[in-house]
Amino acid sequence: MSRTRALARRSRDWVDEIAQSSPARLALLVFTAIVLVVTALLSLPIATTDGHRAPLADAMFTATSAVCVTGLVTVDTATYWSTFGHTVIMVAMAVGGLGVMTLASILGFAVSRRIGLTQRMLTARETKTDRLGEVGSLIIAVIVVSLSVEIALTLVLLPRFTTLGEPFGEALWHASFMAVSIFNNAGFVILPEGLQPHLGDWWIGLPITVGTAIGAIGFPVLLNLRRHLFHPRHWSLHTKLTLVMYGFLSALAFLVIPAMEWTNPATFGQMDTSEKILTGLIYSVNARSSGIETIPVAHMREATWFFQDALMFVGGGTASTGGGIKVTTLAVLLLAIVAEARGDRDIEAFQRRIPPGTVRLAVAVAFIGATLVGLSTLILLSITNLQLDMVLFDVISAFGTVGLSTGITGHLPDAGKYVLTGMMFMGRVGTMTLAAALALRSRRRVIRMPEERPAVG
Res 8 pLDDT > 90:
no
Mean of the per-residue pLDDT values of the chain: 85
Q: Which long-range contacts (CB under 8 A, 24 or more apart) does 33-37 make?
A: 34/67, 34/92, 34/95, 34/96, 34/103, 35/60, 35/63, 35/64, 35/67, 35/68, 35/425, 36/63
Tens digit of each residue's pLDDT (9 = 90 or more) over 10-57? 766 666 666 566 666 777 788 899 999 999 999 999 999 999 999 999
Secondary structure letter of residue 52 according to DSSP: P
Strand partners of residue 354: 347
CA 153 – CA 292 distance, rounded (Å): 15
Q: Give residue 356's identity as a one-letter amino acid code.
A: P
pTM above 0.85, yes or no: yes
pLDDT band, very low/low/confident/very high, at 440 (cuts 50, 70, 90)? very low
Residues 322 and 55: their CA atoms lie apart, in Å, by 28
pLDDT at residue 332 above 80? yes
User: Rounded CA gap, 289 and 291, in Å?
Assistant: 6
Element (H, E) at 349: strand 347-349
Give the range among 39-43, 64-68, 291-295, 408-412 with minimum mean pLDDT: 291-295
CA neighbor of 295 nearest in space, from 307, 306, 281: 281
Return the bridge partners of 2, or none: none
Express as a percent the part of the chain with pLDDT over 90: 51
Kindly state the greatest CA–CA separation across the chain: 74
Average pLDDT over residues 399-408: 91
- Is residue 246 over pLDDT 90? yes
- The reported pLDDT for the residue numbered 155 is 96
**3 state SS of 13:** helix
When mean pLDDT is compared across 48-52, 119-123, 173-177, 187-191, the lowest value belongs to 119-123
